[in-house]
């Protein structure tokens, strides 16, 4: 087994896309990798949670990706199942809004916005306040125009216990990974309206909003997962430079497609590339940055 000096955490990946998720997770553990693996719809979440029941280094997040909502793959039935499952886990993602390309229509925006409000309202059920930082005037949404059907038995389909998921309870703050393309302002509006920032921790995955959106998100206490693809653009590098150290996380967003594999050496290299890139942009020691980001990630995953 190879030994590594530092533990790296991938706070937005898709282990469920790999042909053999349990193998990927096990090899990742040997390579010193912890992860938050996001899913795109409830069925994938249930399958991956079962597959990784014995993988303590990977926390599985319950997702309803806006692409799947926009094209109908996550419809009323799937959304109702999401609402049932959301009561059993602390980890939510990938959810959000995407108003780019074919999804930038009035019908698609309305569908996504309604589903997003429903999801956020469900996340708030029985949640205890996280900190007294909720913006004045924010009110909880009730998921207008879309019905969320949640189970009355939180013990149904309980999540597996593991190193990264041991405190998944109804009242614990959720860790929520957000996708927002051409929709950062709208996503922030929805999150504020739902009082999400007072109750949960929010991560923006691969942030691509405007500079004003970034400053607003930073002020609201959002975290940001940054990977090599974000750092490939000038704007992405500038955003990574501006994000406060305590709000920075790493990500790979890999595998990129269903049935793509994720060899541990590639996984580790992608995280190392992001870490080195951020350290250079910020002009700080790489090892110091690695420990700081690892500490933040560990706290998010085990609490």
Q: Where are the domains of the chain?
A: 8-12+37-130+143-261+269-279+290-302
Which pair of structure tokens corresponds to residue 32?
């010193």
Is the pTM for the entire model greater than 0.75? yes
Q: Is 179 annotated as a binding residue?
A: yes
Q: Name every residue whose Cβ is closer than 8 Å to that of residue 232 and which is 6 or more positions away in sequence.
A: none
Q: Is 251 annotated as a binding residue?
A: no
Residue 130's pLDDT is: 61
Residue 125's pLDDT is: 87
Q: Is 65 annotated as a binding residue?
A: no
Residue 302's pLDDT is: 85
CB atoms within 10 A of CB 171: 9
Tens digit of pLDDT per residue, the chain (303 long)?
444 458 999 999 999 999 999 999 999 999 999 999 999 999 999 999 999 999 999 999 999 999 999 999 999 999 999 999 999 999 999 999 999 988 899 999 999 999 999 999 999 986 666 644 433 333 333 333 343 433 333 333 333 333 444 344 557 899 999 999 999 999 999 999 999 999 999 999 999 999 999 999 999 999 999 999 999 999 999 999 999 999 999 999 999 999 999 999 999 999 999 999 999 999 999 999 999 999 999 999 985
Looking at the DSSP bridge assignments, the partners of residue 16 are: none
> What's the rounded Cα separation, in Å, for the pair 118 and 194?
10
Strand 58-60 versus strand 91-98 pairing type: unpaired
> What phi and psi, each to the nearest 5 degrees, are found at residue 206?
50, 65
List the beta strands (DSSP E) in 148-288. Answer: 175-181, 201-205, 223-226, 248-250
Q: How many residues does this entry show for the chain?
A: 303
CATH class of the domain whose range is 8-12+37-130+143-261+269-279+290-302: alpha beta
Angle at 91 between CA 29 and CA 221, to 5 degrees: 105
Q: Is 12 annotated as a binding residue?
A: yes
Residue 172's pLDDT is: 84
**Cα dist from 111 to 71, 104, 116, 124, whole Å:** 10, 11, 9, 20
């Amino acid at each position: 087994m190879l030994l590594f000096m530092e533990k790296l955490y991938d706070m937005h990946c898709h282990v469920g896309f790999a042909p053999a998720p349990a193998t990927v997770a096990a090899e990742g553990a040997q390579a010193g990798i912890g992860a938050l693996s996001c899913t795109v719809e409830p069925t994938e979440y249930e399958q991956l949670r079962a597959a990784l029941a014995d993988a303590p280094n990977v926390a599985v997040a319950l997702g309803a990706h806006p692409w799947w909502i926009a094209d109908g793959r996550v419809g009323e039935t799937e959304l109702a199942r999401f609402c049932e499952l959301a009561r059993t886990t602390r980890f939510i993602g990938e959810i959000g809004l995407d108003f780019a390309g074919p999804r930038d229509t009035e019908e698609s925006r309305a569908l996504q916005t309604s589903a997003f409000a429903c999801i956020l309202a469900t996340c708030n059920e029985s949640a205890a306040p996280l900190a007294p930082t909720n913006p004045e005037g924010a009110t909880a949404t009730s998921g207008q125009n879309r019905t969320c059907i949640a189970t009355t038995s939180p013990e149904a389909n309980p999540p597996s216990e593991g190193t990264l998921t041991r405190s998944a309870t109804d009242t614990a703050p959720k860790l929520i990974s957000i996708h927002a393309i051409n929709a950062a302002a709208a996503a922030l509006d929805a999150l504020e309206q739902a009082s999400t920032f007072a109750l949960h921790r929010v991560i923006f995955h691969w942030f691509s909003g405007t500079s004003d959106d970034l400053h607003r998100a930073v002020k609201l206490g959002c975290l940001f997962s940054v990977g090599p693809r974000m750092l490939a653009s000038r704007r992405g590098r500038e955003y990574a430079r501006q994000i406060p150290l305590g709000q920075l996380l790493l990500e790979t967003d890999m595998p990129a497609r269903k049935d793509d594999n994720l060899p541990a050496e590639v996984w580790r290299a992608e995280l190392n590339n992001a870490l080195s890139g951020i350290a250079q942009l910020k002009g700080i020691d790489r090892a110091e940055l690695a420990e700081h980001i690892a500490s933040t990630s560990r706290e998010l995953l085990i609490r």
